[in-house]
Amino acid sequence: MTRDDYDQAFDLSKAPRPNRSKRALALALDVRKFEIELYWKRATYFWAFLAVILAGYFALLAANLQCAEKGEALLTTSCLGVIFSIAWYFVNRASKFWQENWESHVDLLEDAEVGPLYKTVLGRTGSSFCNFWKLNGPFRFSVSKLNQLLSLFVVALFALLAARTWHRYYYHNGTPLCSFAWLLVLLTGCAVVVLLVCGRTGPMCKKKLVCAEKRETEIVSECPTEHGKP
């Protein structure tokens, strides 16, 4: 879409401004707030799972188990952590994508209604270097970017635990290709590829075809029994 197409779709090019642009701006602001709420709910969901997985890994590490059993348990736990942490990283990027989508709508719609309020950022004077070292003051960090970097660190942590487990319990033992360990590593790799390839949103420019069915509901005077007789 061009800017003219966008303005025409929301009646922004007409004078006086109709109510459609006001409703569109209000809806864009509401959906943006909803996306931010979902962002932190998803983060809490993944943090809970990853904390349980990490605690389970170290509990198994301290458990008194046979070497083969401990190796399988630790490798399973660390591979599960790799899958969940990568999924968390992808979800963070997806949440940021949709948040920026609605923020862009607000940027385009607000001028006609309230002026460039959302686009205008007010901050303290002074250089960024000086403001950074004021430890009791604000600074222009991105909360979503910090969360993405943190999720990448968690991915690296679980990948390191999985590599360490493999090196300690399987590297020197000549593990057969048909063993549980190799199958688990292969399954983990396939899961990551599926998340990367199949977890993407379809092309936005492609026309979406849907079908619709209408359900009919009717009240009858007598209810039939099991044998079809009233």
Give the tens place of pLDDT for each residue, 185-220. Answer: 899 999 999 999 988 887 766 777 878 787 888 888
Read off the tokens for 105.
């709508």
Say how far apart CA 154 and CA 191 lie, in whole Å: 17
Checking if the pLDDT of 39 tops 70, the result is yes
Say how far apart CA 63 and CA 77 lie, in whole Å: 14
Q: How confident is the model at residue 227 (pLDDT cuts 50, 70, 90)?
A: low
Tens-digit pLDDT profile for residues 72-123: 899 999 999 999 999 999 999 999 999 899 999 898 888 888 888 888 888 7
Checking if the pLDDT of 15 tops 60, the result is no
Cα 184-189-192 angle, rounded to 5 deg: 125
Checking if the pLDDT of 41 tops 50, the result is yes
Nearest to 146 by CA among 97, 205, 96: 96
